[in-house]
């Protein structure tokens, strides 16, 4: 073997060794982590509900439950940073290696005097309605114009006359096109965790059973371009405060469309992005904004919440809720109230995918015309061991236990 050949072999060996070492030490830095704890108001010690717990600079996170408790599973470096944020509170950052299991985390509530708005507002002083219109015009720059995928957890809870009759939990993926395309995302039903349906009022047997996921995602004010975000005639707005969020500030605006509708809008003071939207519709003097449906159902209250999170310079859905109250009347005797039903559906996003979307694992399999329970596979406990769903509360566990007892044997 010539000297040149020996040098080539040594160089090749050295290159392979370097690649191996880089791969080894690189992978050694990527570990499986689990952090858990309870998020509390620093002054009152009250739990902070549905706050964000996420990896800084990444679209992966978890959410506190109704008791402020959380558990977050993720892969990453021990030097990674956890960000904890909630509208109206300071945002804090904690190094992963500094996090303790079951740690109590305290956030300080903060408010800002309206006189200080000039610090973050444009030079011209805008009215509340002008702020809403400015945010509406800024939708094109603040929301994604390219396809993306969201992964999340759906919870469907329903009761009739204050007795719970259904509890459904599932994991799903949502393939969205640009916000400009006014259509529902394609959906992959990944796994179903809980599926309890007790005996319901006989009226339900004659009605079409709506798919829980579709029933929830079809109400998106920004995607479908309606409601209080447009600042249209009929809506009156009032700027009631400026509150902190993610190291910046958001305008807090109340909207009223007499006599049925009220709204609460949070708008970023710098980008004018809608950060959180709430829309409530209530019957007035016993009269609903909707005419009674032909099946005897009359919607007496509707409450919709949509909260967004910033990722890579755009706003993506973080949390969505739809909560209704329906009064069901006898068709033959229209003045006879048979029962009241209250469905509540929620979606918690735990992962945002914006890169390599075309090759990301996604299988559109949701049958829109079929209920979720009719599409459930056999329960997969391994999947749920490290899935970032909000922790079950004591109240939720009690509801689940009661429904198990009520199931037909």
What confidence tens digit (pLDDT) does each residue in 374-393 have?
A: 898 899 999 999 999 999 99
pLDDT by residue (tens digit) across 104-138? 999 999 876 655 554 444 556 789 999 999 999 99
Q: Mean pLDDT lowest for which of 23-37, 46-60, 298-312? A: 23-37
Kindly report the average pLDDT of the chain as a whole number: 88
| pLDDT for the residue 209 | 74
Per-residue pLDDT tens digits for 180-202? 777 889 999 999 999 999 999 99
What does the pLDDT average to over 358-375? 91
Residue 252's contacts (CB-CB under 8 Å, 6 or more residues apart) are 239, 240, 241, 242, 243, 264, 265, 266
pLDDT in tens, 53-83: 999 989 999 999 999 999 999 998 888 999 9
d(CA 234, CA 256): 8
Enter the DSSP assignment of 285: T
Distance of alpha carbon 77 from alpha carbon 84, whole angstroms: 18
- Cα dist from 171 to 116, 154, 206, 353, whole Å: 43, 6, 29, 16
Enclosing H/E stretch for 20: helix 3-29
pLDDT of res. 28: 46
Nearest-Å Rg of the Cα atoms of the chain is: 25
201-212 pLDDT, tens digit each: 999 888 777 788
pLDDT at res. 313: 93
pLDDT above 90 (res 236) = yes
Domain-by-domain residue ranges, the chain? 31-107, 118-406
Q: Does domain 31-107 have CATH number 3.40.50.970?
A: no
Mean pLDDT of 257-281: 96
């Amino acid at each position: 073997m010539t000297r040149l050949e020996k040098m080539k072999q040594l160089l090749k060996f050295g290159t392979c060794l370097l690649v191996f070492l880089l791969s080894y030490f690189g992978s050694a830095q990527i570990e499986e982590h689990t952090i858990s704890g309870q998020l509390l108001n620093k002054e009152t010690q009250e739990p902070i509900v549905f706050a964000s717990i996420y990896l800084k600079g990444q679209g992966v996170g978890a959410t506190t439950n109704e008791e402020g408790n959380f558990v977050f599973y993720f892969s990453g470096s021990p030097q990674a940073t956890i960000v904890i944020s909630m509208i109206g509170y300071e945002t804090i950052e904690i190094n992963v290696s500094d996090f303790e299991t079951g740690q109590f985390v305290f956030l300080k509530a903060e408010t800002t005097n309206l006189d200080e708005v000039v610090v973050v507002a444009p030079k011209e002083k805008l009215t509340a309605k002008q702020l809403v219109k400015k945010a509406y015009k800024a939708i094109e720059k603040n929301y994604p114009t390219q396809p993306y995928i969201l992964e999340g957890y759906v919870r469907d809870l329903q009761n009739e006359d204050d007795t719970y009759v259904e509890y459904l939990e599932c994991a799903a993926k949502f393939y969205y096109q640009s916000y400009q395309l006014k259509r529902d995302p394609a959906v992959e039903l990944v796994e179903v965790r809980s599926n309890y349906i007790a005996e319901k009022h006989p009226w339900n047997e004659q009605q079409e059973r709506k798919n829980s996921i579709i029933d929830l995602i079809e109400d998106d004010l920004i995607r479908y371009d309606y409601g209080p975000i447009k600042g249209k005639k009929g809506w009156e707005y009032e700027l009631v405060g400026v509150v902190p969020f993610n190291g910046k500030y958001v305008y807090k605006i109340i909207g009223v469309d007499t006599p049925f509708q009220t709204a609460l809008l949070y708008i970023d003071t710098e980008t004018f992005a809608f950060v959180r939207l709430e829309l409530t519709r209530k019957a007035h003097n016993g009269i609903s904004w909707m005419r009674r449906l032909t099946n005897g159902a009359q919607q007496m209250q509707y409450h919709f919440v949509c909260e967004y999170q910033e990722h890579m310079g755009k706003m993506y859905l973080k949390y969505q809720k739809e909560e209704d109250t329906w009064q069901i009347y006898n068709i033959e005797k229209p003045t006879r109230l048979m029962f009241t039903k209250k469905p509540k559906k929620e979606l918690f996003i735990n992962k945002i995918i914006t890169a390599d979307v075309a090759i990301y694992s996604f299988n559109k399999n949701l049958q829109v015309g079929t209920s979720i329970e009719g599409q459930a596979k056999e329960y997969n406990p391994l999947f749920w061991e490290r899935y970032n769903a909000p922790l079950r509360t004591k109240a939720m566990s009690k509801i689940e236990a009661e429904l198990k007892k009520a199931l037909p044997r």
